[in-house]
Chains A and B, each alone.
Chain A
Amino acid sequence: MNLEDLLYENAPAARDALLSALPPEEDCPPNFSPGFRRRLRRLTHRQRHPVLFRTLRQAAACFLALLVLGGAYLGADSRARAGFLRWVRQVYQTQIVYRFAGEAAESGVYRPGWVPEGYTLAEAWNDTVLYNDPSGRNLVFDYTLMQSGTALSIQDADKAIIKSADINGVSGELYLSTDASLPNVLIWLDEDAELVFGITGFLDESDMLHMAESVYLANSTN
């Protein structure tokens, strides 16, 4: 019997074992927070009144359009606009969180055109590429299409020197770790593509920037 046949024959038993570990639904009523429950109530309400909510959404869109047209400085300063309308950067004690408050577009597939010598491709998914150096340390390039309400966080931001960076005219931030066990992080926000790009690895500043500048759109969805 070949492997495929074995999988078809045995996967249901594995699936049943996994599902048997779950408690019955009545034994695990979720303890959702008031905030989560509010979102659920909005969902139910929206489903019952789709026309009302479509109208409200159109009104909100008009309001935003007016806001953009009226805010001259927002139109002139892309960084300000990113911070004001789409991206919000919040600093907590040891954490920096980027929140997205716009509507997401479709993303293509992006890839770095250059990686430092010695790094080899280990794995590649749509939005994540993993490289290894000869000693087995990882270098990750990834990007995230942000949807309204989602967030990207940088942990242990207190253990890093934060520097502004410019990647082909796009603003970014470089987190140079002061702890040798933590990788450096470079992130940059492409507001046109509504993507946040990141490189995480044990590279120096110059290599981080060089790699970031080499990123290109390998496959467009449009």
Chain B
Amino acid sequence: MLVYLQAIGSGPEKSKFERIFALYQGRMYHTAYQILRNRQDAEDAVHQALLAIAKNISKVSDPECTKTLSYIVTITENKAIDMYRSRRRRSALPLDETMGISCPMPDGAVARAIVGLPARYRQLILLKYAEGYTNDELAAMLGLSYSGVCSLDQRAKQKLQELLKEEGIDI
């Protein structure tokens, strides 16, 4: 927690951070545990997610909105997947192919295809196209360079087109 505070600047941002933790700690732990299936690892993932949130706290405008919940869950899933990978002896598995948390299939072929994307692609698509974060903001949130975000966006779209093609939808 010491590091969180180093990352957070002013008083209002500190209370925003506390509010976020109070509102979402259960769902953060639930998300991490779904992937890691281990209490200690899930706590570590939540810890890493809190560090990332603290670093980007200025990008959270309202702690109590769907956009913030979506961001919190995404970052927690992202950190849990990183941890899962690091637990596999510095795994040589491609990062992009890791699947994250599961959910019911939505109506509509495109929405279903988005949900069916590997987690890294899905996270970017949702943060960008559902929540409206810019590539600059996404770079900071996901720990990527600007060009890394653009490249991930392209790969995500390619994969999505492949999934849609399998459903007979050619775009």
A217 to chain B, nearest CB (A): 15
Residues of A close to B111: CB separation below 8 A: 10-11, 13-14, 17
Roughly how many angstroms separate A122 CA and B122 CA in the complex, as a whole number?
20
Do A155 and B25 touch across chains, with their CB atoms under 8 A apart?
no
Residues of B close to A183: CB separation below 8 A: 89-90, 92
CB of A33 within 8 Å of the partner chain: yes
CB of B99 within 8 Å of the partner chain: no
One of A11, A14, A53, A155 near B88 (C-beta < 8 A): A155
Do B114 and A138 touch across chains, with their CB atoms under 8 A apart?
no
One of B46, B94, B161 near A3 (C-beta < 8 A): B161
Taking residues whose C-beta sits less than 8 angstroms from the other chain, chain A's interface range is: 35 or more
Residues of B close to A222: CB separation below 8 A: none
Taking residues whose C-beta sits less than 8 angstroms from the other chain, chain B's interface range is: 35 or more
Q: Is the interface of B mostly helix, strand, loop or mixed?
A: helix
Residues of B close to A13: CB separation below 8 A: 106-108, 111
Residues of A close to B91: CB separation below 8 A: 200
Do A18 and B126 touch across chains, with their CB atoms under 8 A apart?
yes
B-contacting residues, A1-41, CB 8 Å: 2-4, 6-23, 25-33, 35-36, 39-40
Do A182 and B89 touch across chains, with their CB atoms under 8 A apart?
yes
Q: Is the interface of A mostly helix, strand, loop or mixed?
A: mixed
CB of B84 within 8 Å of the partner chain: no
B110 to chain A, nearest CB (A): 4
Roughly how many angstroms separate A154 CA and B111 CA in the complex, as a whole number?
39
CB of A80 within 8 Å of the partner chain: no
CB of B165 within 8 Å of the partner chain: no
CB of B115 within 8 Å of the partner chain: yes
Do A11 and B130 touch across chains, with their CB atoms under 8 A apart?
yes
The CB with the most chain A CB atoms within 10 A, among B26, B48, B51, B94, is that of: B26
Residues of A close to B95: CB separation below 8 A: 123, 125, 128, 130
CB of B40 within 8 Å of the partner chain: yes
CB of B136 within 8 Å of the partner chain: no
One of B51, B110, B112, B122 near A6 (C-beta < 8 A): B110
Among the listed stretches A69-77, A145-153, A165-173, A204-212, which one makes contact with chain B, having 4 or more residues with CB under 8 Å of it? A145-153
Do B86 and A126 touch across chains, with their CB atoms under 8 A apart?
no
User: Interface readout for B131-150 with A: 1 if CB under 8 Å, 0 if not?
Assistant: 10000000000011100100
Given the contacts A17-B115, A39-B1, A125-B148, A30 and B92 also touching, CB distance less than 8 Å: no
B-contacting residues, A108-124, CB 8 Å: 109, 122-124
7 A-B pairs with least C-beta separation: A43-B1, A155-B89, A21-B103, A11-B129, A11-B130, A14-B114, A30-B29
- Besides A36-B43, A46-B1, 17 other CB < 8 A contacts? A6-B171, A11-B126, A17-B111, A18-B101, A20-B103, A25-B26, A26-B26, A28-B26, A32-B29, A42-B1, A43-B5, A47-B5, A126-B145, A128-B95, A140-B90, A148-B3, A154-B90
